[in-house]
Amino acid sequence: MPTTSVSRIRQAAVADAPLLARVGSELFAQTFAAVNTPEDLGAYLAIAFNEPRQTQELNDPNMRTWIAESDDGSPAGFVQVRLGAAMPTRALPRPAELARIYVDARWHGAGVGPRLLQ
5: confidence class by pLDDT, cuts 50, 70, 90: confident
**Where do runs of H (alpha helix) occur along the chain?**
17-32, 38-48, 51-59, 112-117
Q: Which one-letter DSSP state was computed for residue 49?
A: T
Q: Is the pLDDT of residue 7 over 90?
A: no
**Which sequence spans correspond to the domains of the chain?**
6-117
Helix (H) or strand (E) holding 83: strand 75-83
Please choose, from the candidates 12, 14, 28, the residue with its C-alpha nearest in 3D space to the C-alpha of residue 101. 28
CATH superfamily of 6-117: Gcn5-related N-acetyltransferase (GNAT) (3.40.630.30)
- Assign 99 a pLDDT band (cuts: 50, 70, 90): very high
Of 66, 102, 73, 65, whose CA–CA distance to 5 is shortest? Answer: 73
What average pLDDT does range 42-51 have in this prediction? 97
